[in-house]
Amino acid sequence: MTDLAFTQNRELSWLAFNDRVLTEATDETVPLLERLKFVSIFTSNLDEFFMIRVGSLFDLAGVKADARDRRSGMTPKEQLEAIYAAVRPLYHKREEICASLEKQLRMHGICRLTWDELESSEQKYCARYFKTSMLPILTPQIVDTHHPFPHLKNNVLHVGAWVKYRVRDVFAVIPLPDALPPVLFLPGSELRYIHTEDILLNYVEDIFTNYAVQEKVVFCVTRNADINPNDENFDLYGEDFRKQMQKALKQRMRLAPVRLELSRPISADFLDYLKNRLPVVDAQIFVTSAPLKLGYAFSLVDRLSEVKQKALTYPEFTPALPAGYDPRVSMAHQVMQHDRLLSYPFESMTPFLNLIKEAADDPAVISIKITIYRLARKAKLVDYLCTAAENGKDVTVLIELRARFDEQNNIDWSERLEDAGCTVLYGFEDYKIHSKVCLITRREHGEIRYITQVGTGNYNEKTARQYTDVSLLTADQKIGQDAQEFFKNMCIGNLEGHYNELLVAPVSLKSTLLERIDDEIAKRDKGRIIAKVNAVTDVELIEKLKQASCAGVQIDLIVRGICCLLPGVPGKTENIRVVSIVGRFLEHSRIYCFGAGARESMYISSADFMTRNTQRRVEVACPVYDPEMRERLHDILNACLKDNVKARVLQSDGSYLPHHTEDSPFECQQYLLNEALERPAAEPEAREVREHSGGLFHSLRKRLGK
């Protein structure tokens, strides 16, 4: 792509997304403790961004320094410079938000304390904790001629000190052991706590007793963690893929530093020492008074009274059972009657799990085949698959060991599945299997019948309560035959398979999407495209959408995160609108619509409009034919486009502005939540929440024209 007038850099677009996450922490309509969680999410997002995206740019700069990004024309070095410049103000914003939130939380008895703020009895409590629980497992180290500079683990907090031994300045360091909790909760009626690193910081002098401590700091090194298994020779020495992945995980801990975070300013000599030893440059160093780690924010809720939980967190809800679902009737029978669509987290995953549980014991079921990318730490799905295999069913699991940061979890599950008698396959050397497909094959009255599930999100029972996703259950035999062909091809290593209904990357998904856009271009100003995805980076799709805009096609894109396409550019993308929604739940579903009315083509998919999805992964998009299911998907899309509370609209300069309208406030996630809970099939616990917020539902539904 040579015309850069309507595109922007991927990494800067991602930083803008994470800024929107951080901005949620300033929304006074969001409960106070939930706002702290958004700061925590922002922080962990940024950690991963540096490990993966910044890490990959460092690699690229070393291998091909003159390579230019096709969407911004920037070299790797220029991108890194722009990233560091864009991140610095985000640190300042995070500091201000943290200080404000902690001040407000103190009014509710939730206090993060420094050592100097502790009462005398609390200091004694911390002293006992340090001596009995911390000191025995610490590994302090001095760096001198006999003690080399240690490897500082990736993303682990350390306490560093600049100390004097006789006439020499020496570096001393103590890593925080993984076995220690991030905070110590203090005794008393209020929720008072101190960070573990702050306790350790206070006792540095007691640890290095023979040295004069001149200054001390909490710091964290972020390393390049962009392990690319495609570059590994997994056949080396005859070792299998799983063992090679385990080696790759160990290597991840030792890669080059890309960021250094400090809890306070330090002297020039101390800083120069760290810069030279790591090594890092000034642009990579960030000093912040806010906590370096905030993951503990999610654990505070369980320590609150019921009254405070209601005041400081979102109202609890239990995902509803879908309309028309009858738990007393076989799920397989219900799907055979007509298609079912589950909308997470508003609806429960229970119907799908029950389908697998039934299949494990159903004499008519011959086989179960499924692709797995991410699973919860505790997964009923695995239990049911293992039961099916133990009952003599043919169970085939295509599990992706390279699901970033879930590799070890998937390795563990693969071993459990194999032990139960499942056939476990690991996919392709050059292509991650990211699709979400499950096929149940039955023999009824001598005939083969299929039940197919295709989803936009993982089979993760935990994130199904946190991410918005959709899952289609269908007995459409044409789709089932395609799913059977898909699994056959995956098992024999064939990426070139032909499918009549499913769109499968890397072969037919992208080409079909381009054809569908061309169909709308042919209609000119009668054309219509709506797509809901997590990211838009694929250059060819961006160019084709620009062509559609120039032809007069009206295009609405609902893009949660990265969007390299800039809308509203005169003569190029003025017929494209891009909306981003960041709210209580992570927007994760992918829905594509081309055309309008009865001739509209509609798909749900595991794939974003990203080159890695369309060309370098195995992805599946499934057509949706059932009129009722199509209406429900349009309900989701229309709600997103109507949102004027959480929605932000992308501008032609890359900035985002709130979607202000003259309509009454409308929040799509709250609407969909209330819509699900209003149904008669809702569980008793869900009905309690429905009664709490049902009045809002009626007004929201009225505004959508229901």
The residues assigned a catalytic role are: 434
The amino acid sitting at 374 is R
Query: What is the β-pairing status of strands 212-223 and 432-433?
Result: unpaired
- Cα–Cα dist 413/228, whole Å: 22
Which 3 state secondary structure label does DSSP give 100?
helix
Cβ-in-10-Å burial (0-12, 13-18, 19+) of 223 comes to buried
Strands, E assignment, 445-589:
447-455, 467-474, 503-505, 528-533, 554-559, 576-581, 586-587
Q: Which residues of 523-545 are buried (b: 16+ CB within 10 A; e: fewer)?
A: eeeebbbbbbbbbbbbebbbbbb
Place of tokens 């996919």: 427
How many other C-beta atoms can be found within 10 angstroms of the C-beta atom of residue 188? 13
DSSP state of 698: H
Side chain identity, residue 196: T
Identify the residue whose tokens are 């994470």: 18
Distance CA 618, CA 612 (A): 10
Residues 452, 369 contacting (CB under 8 angstroms) = no
Distance CA(679)–CA(687), nearest Å, equals: 9
C-alpha distances in Å from residue 21, one per residue of 12, 93, 104, 535, 585:
14, 12, 20, 15, 11
- Nearest residue to 415 via CA among 243, 586, 289: 243
The Cα 531–Cα 609 span in angstroms is 9
In terms of C-beta density within 10 A (0-12 exposed, 13-18 middle, 19 or more buried), how is residue 277 classed? middle
Which residues sit opposite 214 in a β-bridge? none
